[in-house]
Structure 1
């Protein structure tokens, strides 16, 4: 594998992981009856919504099946991909949910 192929492979693996992170975020939100688009906007008010987030959210709305995901796992994955602001907002929502 030459350098260009290796670089392309790394980029593709990162993008696949990022898509999985978005899916986990969307799953967590839907499981807790929260709007992932609104939570993302709260974390990043000056950014446009990522196209992947919109698409994955739409797919999830159409499938209407969810699974429970540990908040700690989601927070770890969000931070792994540098989404510290989003992890902070999710953590705040999780704390509110635990008090219900």
Structure 2
């Protein structure tokens, strides 16, 4: 593999992993009776039409069909990809949820 092929592969892997991060976020939202688009818009008002989020919304399942996604997992995945604003919004929702219990 030459340098260009390696760079292309790295970019493809990052994009695939980033899409997985968005899918984890969206499924976590559904599992917690939250609207992923609303939370995303709150964190990133300039990115309302995010194509990766739209694609992920087509892949999520009903919460009854989904595996449990721990709160810490979604926060870690968001932070790993530098989505600190979204992680902040998610942490606020987690705090609201814990106060209801």
TM-score by length of 2: 0.90
- In structure 1, the gaps of 5 or more residues are none
Q: Which moved more, 1:43-52 or 1:9-18?
A: 43-52
Let me know the Cα RMSD of the aligned residues. 1.1
How far apart are residue 47 of structure 1 and its match? 2.1
Question: Post-superposition shift, 1:71?
Answer: 1.0
Separation in structure 1 between the aligned mates of residue 85 and residue 92 of structure 2, nearest angstrom: 11
How many equivalent pairs are there? 98
Equivalents in 2 of 1:31, 1:45: separation in Å?
A: 23
1:86 alignment partner in structure 2: 86
Alignment of structure 1 residues 6-21 onto 2, 5 Å: 6-21=6-21
Give the Å deviation of 1:69.
Answer: 0.7
Paired residue for 2:49? 49
Contact kept? 1:44, 1:85, Cα under 8 Å: yes
Cα distance in structure 2, aligned partners of 1:59 and 1:25: 12
Please, which runs of 5 or more residues in structure 2 have no aligned partner? none
What TM-score results when the alignment is normalised by the length of structure 1?
Answer: 0.91
Alignment of 1:1-100 (within 5 A): 1-60=1-60, 63-64=61-62, 65-100=65-100
CA contact (8 A) 2:23 2:59 kept: no
Once the two structures are TM-superposed, the CA of residue 52 in structure 1 deviates from its matched residue by 1.4
